[in-house]
Amino acid sequence: MSAYKELETRFKRIAALGEAVGMLHWDMSVLMPPGGADSRTEQLTALKLTTHEMKTDSALAGLLDEAESALPDDPWQSANLREMRRIWIHANAMEASLVEAMSRACSACELIWREARLENDFVRVLPYLEEVLNLTRQVAAVKSDALICSEYEALLDQYEPAGRTARIDELFADLAGFLPEFTETALSRQAERADAVLPDGPFPTERQRILGEKLMGTLGFDFDAGRLDVSLHPFCGGVPGDIRITTRYADNDFTQSLMGVLHETGHALYEMGLPDDWRYQPVGSARGMALHESQSLLIEMQVCRSREYLEFAAPLMRDAFGGSGSKWEVDNLYRLYTRVDRNFIRVDADEVTYPAHVILRYRLERALIDDELALADLPGAWNDGMEDLLGIRPPDDRLGCLQDIHWYDGAWGYFPTYTMGAMAAAQLFATAKRELPDIPEAISRGDFSHLIGWMRKNLHAKASSASTDELMIQATGEPLETVSFKAHLQARYG
């Protein structure tokens, strides 16, 4: 067996164990009783240690060197070898003891966070988060040496390969200069129109679920390879052949939950569209979280908040809840789904103010990693930042620094990918519509095959065969930029 083929065999086993970790995380968030916490921590730790040992096996380095000395002719195999080396670098930077400590700390902190968030008690979770941050800094330190980048960039690389703060700073500075004035413009234009009115509830959870599943199906979600459930924090997990979407429901408002379902469906469609031939290989995985978020925001923001989509979906919404009257008409629903409002909660934010939420978290996590902000001062810094960026101040930590799961489960360096994804979504959608001008009319009829087919061909099927910017250039002719996103906002809200 050649060195490359041996590497494929080894990485297939690593990927399968990684999928098991993902399924256990899903179960922990959706079904696991509180009494399972200790057992789940042991299971996750054992699996993570096992995969770490496989990635740091001394034989792996020799196999990589041998395979790289005579690169495969197949470009996908060469790309796969590149991704294997990147995974090897990340793993070999960390001692097994650090992997174990990080796994245990994150599991413990996430479980306490669930209770602390409900109880609005940051002090309760603080010591657990301090342990996670301390270990995260250790991870950042050893990985930055191995990757030859800053400590924050070493964390970012786990979610956005080769991501660099200088690039993010440039993109975010452009948005930060554009959004404050534009937000005022959007709010002024909104004030000139009739108010959006939420249809009268209640909206029974079961009817919301049925509507959500129906709309997931129209987009192309395969229920033979996935399902919809409930969790505290909506997410898309599972594996390409068994995608698990979660949402949360409110009886008095179906709109946020429904858009949450559609957002996660975008993630799921990306996973379902990855190439079967490269399943279980690094090159067959999604290309980082910026493009993953682009697919969720493409569906939720670009498509499902458009007037064309609501022309199709409004009758289904009325039927689901027995609604009638002007509140259920397309004009009102469009105003409702494109309403600009300074909101405390990121996942409920509109697309005009959403980047401010991300920029705040990006600034704070960089300051925390660089030890420029004490963790005990996070609530105050968060509230000050919200006031500075959005002009609102959270009344409590539940609406402030306790709202997101990411830091509490160890996902540091993840947040900037949300707004990078919003920019990529606008750029991809604009290109798709230029190349296939009938997409908007098809959407109004509930036909998403043109759009999803374009994404399958130009993004999903390419997986991790190239970098984010290379994939964006192949699909749109340009690397990631802000022009398309700003043009989209101006057309919809300006």
Which residues are marked as active site?
Answer: 264
- φ and ψ at residue 243, rounded to 5 degrees: -80, 130
Task: Give CA 38 to chain center in angstroms.
Answer: 27
CA-based nearest residue to 173, from 416, 459, 433, 460: 416
Residue 466, C-beta contacts closer than 8 angstroms, at least 6 positions apart: 79, 287, 474
What is the token pair recorded at 328?
A: 């259920």
Q: Is 215 exposed, middle or buried (0-12, 13-18, 19+ CB in 10 A)?
A: buried
Burial 37-68 (b: 16+ CB within 10 A, else e): beebbebbbebbeebbeebbeeebeebbeebb
CA pair distance 341, 359, nearest whole angstrom: 17
Work out the end-to-end distance of the chain between its first and last CA atoms, rounded to an integer number of angstroms: 61
What is the token pair recorded at 395?
A: 């009344």
DSSP H helices in 71-121: 75-92, 96-119
Whether the ω angle into residue 202 lies within 30 degrees of 0, i.e. cis, is yes
Q: Compute CA distances 292 → 273, 322, 438, whole Å.
A: 12, 35, 25
Identify whether the C-beta of residue 468 lies closer than 8 Å to the C-beta of residue 291: yes
Q: How crowded is residue 315: how many other Cβ atoms within 10 Å of its Cβ?
A: 13
Task: Give CA 351 to chain center in angstroms.
Answer: 15
Q: How crowded is residue 201: how many other Cβ atoms within 10 Å of its Cβ?
A: 13
CA-based nearest residue to 304, from 262, 355, 249, 360: 262
CA-based nearest residue to 178, from 313, 368, 366, 352: 352
Q: Is 277 exposed, middle or buried (0-12, 13-18, 19+ CB in 10 A)?
A: exposed
CA pair distance 270, 260, nearest whole angstrom: 16
**CA angle 406–96–36, rounded 5-degree value:** 55
What is the token pair recorded at 72?
A: 């495969």
